[in-house]
Amino acid sequence: MALMDKATLNLWAMSALVIALMIMAILIEHHIFKGVRYFWYHWIILNCLERQMIDAGIMVRHGNIIVTPKIQLSFSKDLNSATLRIRNALKYNKVLDDVVMSSALRKFVVERHYSTDDGNWYIYELVDGSVSFKQTYNSLDEFLQYSKTISTYKLFLDSRSTPRLQHAILVGQTGSGKTYAVYSLLMQMLYKDVPYHLYFADPKGSSLAVIGQEIAPERTASSVEAIIESLGQFVALMRERKTELRKRLKTRIDADYSDFGMSPYIFICDEYASFASVLASSDKKTRDKVKALLYEVILQGRQLGFFLFIIMQKSDATLIDTALRDNIPLKIVLGNSEQQTYVTAFGAGVDIPNRHYSVGEGVFTEPVLAPEPKLVQFPYCNFDILQACKQASVV
Ligand SMILES: Nc1ncnc2c1ncn2[C@@H]1O[C@H](COP(=O)(O)OP(=O)(O)OP(=O)(O)O)[C@@H](O)[C@H]1O
Ligand SMILES: [Mg+2]
């Protein structure tokens, strides 16, 4: 009896040891030494990912054994972002390129993915989609303190994204914060050390027209005729800049307007759809003229420092020429939009982080900073914006 007891005891001890070793292996595999939260995120996401990969057929079957590709996951110190590496194989190549990964990543979303130069690994950059990085400025001084840290020809969208000045399109349902987002860009432009020349077109004559009237009434237009005329003047100046720049390029062939410290010119058109629909009912000559002017700016403006900012609720081909839209590098979609809005802005098959977007929040793409839709949260300016703009025009 005593012998039996000892044998059972040994068995128990062995089992306990095996279980303890297994637990230890799991703890080590999921980096417990980096903290309990790190361990928990690592464990839960890896499990979820492996399960979903199997469901999606991203695996190899050897008899009864299922092998998923090798996965490595590492989080930043604050656990707000992570890098996911998935080992590539012939079988997965195209699949891993197109897979919509965010659904398998709990609250994390993919912001960018690419493969390593040797093609052996797919790298996915993840962020915690539930974390807010929205900035609030309680005074103009506070706003300017941050804005002054940004170089002359760049504009910050939020604390994570500061693209170069370029053509931009802002899309989103009514009340999603498009015009407000433009205010924050506008205030940056108005206080730059090189003067920004701004043109305002607001066919509905609403808030942007009010700001425009205060700071540059001669460059503010509300009626369609006035907008066309203003666009014509804008392009005429661009042509002058072209002649001027051509002379300077002789000294430096690969330069653009910013290398010579020149001022940028920006034509901001709010409610573009409204402009486009009135234009659609005008004569063909006028339509062709406007189209030619817009294309001229979009295609030549980058080097010359002439940019279009287009704001509209939807960017379908019925409202804006597809070729025109596709040549705009900075595309921002704010608020909770229909799938179709994302498709027209970014193209089909893109992975849009699935979350509830509050006002001023959304996603954007830009060739350098965000080849894939990246979260953006425009700041809240808790001060008198109109006064801030007026003050700048006096400076
Ligand atoms: N980033 C933000 N932070 C805080 N509040 C915001 C932000 N953006 C917008 N809002 C609030 O939402 C309101 C509506 O925003 P806005 O007028 O910019 O919408 P919109 O997209 O231009 O709508 P519409 O298409 O009807 O012109 C603003 O008046 C402001 O109070
Ligand atoms: Mg608006």
Nearest CA, atom 26, ligand 1: 174
Q: Which ligand is nearest to the CA of 173?
A: 1
CA–CA–CA angle 306, 308, 311 (5° rounding): 165
CA of 80 to the centre of ligand 2 (A): 32
271: CA distance to ligand 2 center in Å?
Answer: 7
pLDDT of residue 178: 96
What is the spatial distance between Cα 48 and Cα 110, in angstroms, rounded to a whole number? Answer: 15
pLDDT at 244: 93
Atom 9 of ligand 1, nearest CA residue: 177
Strand partners, 199: 267
Name the maximum alpha-carbon separation found in the chain.
106
pLDDT number for residue 277: 92
- How far, in whole angstroms, is CA 353 from its chain's centroid? 11
Residue nearest to atom 4 of ligand 1 (CA): 380
| Mutate which of 171, 337, 359 for ligand 1 pocket (most atoms within 8 A of beta carbon) | 359
The protein residue whose alpha carbon is closest to atom 10 in ligand 1 is 177
Q: Is the CB of 183 under 6 A from ligand 1?
A: no
pLDDT averaged per 10 residues in sequence order, the chain, 395 residues? 74 93 92 94 92 87 87 93 89 72 82 86 89 92 96 96 97 95 96 96 92 94 96 97 92 90 97 93 94 96 97 90 93 91 85 84 94 93 94 69
Provide the pLDDT for residue 193: 93
Q: Output the CA 232–ligand 1 centroid distance in Å.
A: 30
Using alpha carbons only, how large is the chain's radius of gyration in Å?
27
Edge-to-edge strand ranges of the sheet holding 108-115: 71-75, 81-87, 121-128, 108-115
pLDDT in the model for residue 224? 94
* Inter-CA distances, 359 with 171, 177, 181, 362, Å: 13, 5, 10, 8
CA of 314 to the centre of ligand 2 (A): 12
Residue 1: the pLDDT is: 52
Give the pLDDT score at 380. 97
Q: Ligand 2 is a single-atom ion; what residues have CB below 5 A from it?
A: 179
The residue ranges of every structural domain in the chain are 30-128, 136-394
Quick one: which of 241, 228, 240, 303 has its CA closest to 267?
228
CATH of region 136-394: 3.40.50.300
Q: Which of 143, 157, 179 to mutate to test the pocket of ligand 1 (most atoms within 8 A of CB)?
A: 179
Distance from the CA of 193 to the center of ligand 2, in angstroms? 28
Residue 36: what pLDDT? 94
Q: Is 180 in the pocket of ligand 1 (CB under 6 A)?
A: yes
CA of 313 to the centre of ligand 2 (A): 9
Give distance in angstroms: CA of 228 to centre of ligand 1.
27
